[in-house]
């Protein structure tokens, strides 16, 4: 019966999508696709926590009718209906909420799920931010799609101003070889195209694995020792400093360990591609300044 019900929903969506309309709002998403809507979307589903947060920043919070688990910021996001997790979307629940627009995470949501949603002729905006400045442009684009450009433009301008201030303050600081640790087992870091690498560069850091093309590559302890970072930065899963950050103390030959440069940045502030990314950047920049201050006198 569930399959029959889902097919009926699909047929309803396909019939509704057959009526020709004149597109009144249009943006290009991060995949290069043009998203056209007859009017700003009044019913939006977000398929990642960071996208939910960015929609709120763009003034579109009241238009979100569905989102995924761990979408808890701002607090109002906790009251929105859930449609599963970003990696396991409940397609029937999505269809039942009758969205006019879906905001999806290109590298996080399953391609097969997105293909099935496209079969319903639901417009899908794909997000994939790899540079800090992309956060501002995404806020603006989401504001266009949701009909809240004034709020979105103000938020984007504020973001750019804060970013420019950080670039001015830290852009010319001496480089600090930095290892960013996402997790312990497996030992994961960030590659060249990951936005956290861009944050490290903003702070005058040098990602010791920044030449790797994989977004979140797995590395070995031996590789970290060979890279000899001057700072080790970890995130973990929540607001608490992960205990495994101190496991590096056994490797006293690493410069970061010898100088006590083991730092923590809350994951929500640096691993979510939202306006709060600059809060994470500020903390990381301060940590790298601490590392510079601990260098021996020439």
Residue 220 scores a pLDDT above 80:
yes
| pLDDT of res. 20 | 44
User: Cis omega (within 30 of 0) on the bond before 17?
Assistant: no
Residue 298: pLDDT band (50, 70, 90) is confident
172-293 matches 2-156 in CATH topology = yes
* Mean pLDDT, rounded, for 173-196: 94
Report phi then psi at 221, rounded to 5.
-60, -40
Backbone angles phi, psi at 202, to 5 degrees: -55, -40
- What class has domain 172-293? alpha beta
Rounded Cα distance between 109 and 126, Å, is 10
Of 237 and 89, which is predicted with more confidence? 89
Averaged confidence pLDDT in the chain: 91
Fold of 2-156: Rossmann fold (3.40.50)
Q: pLDDT value at position 86? A: 80
- Checking if the pLDDT of 278 tops 60, the result is yes
Average pLDDT over residues 42-70: 97
Model confidence at 297: pLDDT above 90: no
Range with lowest mean pLDDT among 4-18, 87-101, 172-186: 4-18
């001057």: which residue's tokens? 230
Most confident of 13-17, 114-118, 137-141: 137-141
Give the least confident one: 19-23, 42-46, 205-209, 260-264: 19-23
Q: Is the pLDDT of residue 275 over 60?
A: yes
The residue with greater pLDDT, 202 or 171, is: 202
pLDDT at 21: 42
**Mean pLDDT, residues 30-38 taken together:** 96
Read off the pLDDT of residues 63-88 as tens digits, 9 standing for 90 and up: 999 999 999 999 999 999 999 988 88
Domain residue spans in the chain? 2-156, 172-293
Look at residue 258 in the predicted model and tell me its pLDDT.
97
pLDDT at 4: 41
pLDDT over 90, % of the chain: 78
| Rounded-to-integer distance, Cα 147 and Cα 119, Å | 25
Q: What's this model's pTM, rounded to 2 decimal places?
A: 0.86
């Amino acid at each position: 019966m569930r399959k029959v019900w889902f097919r009926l929903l699909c047929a309803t969506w396909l019939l509704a999508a057959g009526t020709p309309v004149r597109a009144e709002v249009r943006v290009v998403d991060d995949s290069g696709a043009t998203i056209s809507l007859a009017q700003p979307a009044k019913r939006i589903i977000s398929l990642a926590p960071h996208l939910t947060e960015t929609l709120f920043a763009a003034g579109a919070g009241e238009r979100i009718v569905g989102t995924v688990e761990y979408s808890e910021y701002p607090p109002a996001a906790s009251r929105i209906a859930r449609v599963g997790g970003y990696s396991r979307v409940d397609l029937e629940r999505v269809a039942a909420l009758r969205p006019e627009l879906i905001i999806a995470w290109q590298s996080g949501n399953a391609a097969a799920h997105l293909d099935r949603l496209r079969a319903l002729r639901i417009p899908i905006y794909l997000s994939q931010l790899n540079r800090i400045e992309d956060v501002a442009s995404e806020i603006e684009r989401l504001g266009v799609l949701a009909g809240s450009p004034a709020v979105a433009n103000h938020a984007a301008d504020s973001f750019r101003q804060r970013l420019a201030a950080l670039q001015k303050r830290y852009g010319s600081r001496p480089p600090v070889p930095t290892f960013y640790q996402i997790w312990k087992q497996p030992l994961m870091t960030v590659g060249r195209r990951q936005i956290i690498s861009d944050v490290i560069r903003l702070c005058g850091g040098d990602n010791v694995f920044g030449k790797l093309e994989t977004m979140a590559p797995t590395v070995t302890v031996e590789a970290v020792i060979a890279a000899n970072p001057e700072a080790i930065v970890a995130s973990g899963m929540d607001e608490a400093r992960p205990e495994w950050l101190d496991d590096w103390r056994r490797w006293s030959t690493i410069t970061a360990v010898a100088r006590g440069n083991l730092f923590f940045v809350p994951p929500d502030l640096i691993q979510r591609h939202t306006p709060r990314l600059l809060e994470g950047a500020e903390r990381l920049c301060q940590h790298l300044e601490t590392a510079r201050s601990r260098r021996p006198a020439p």
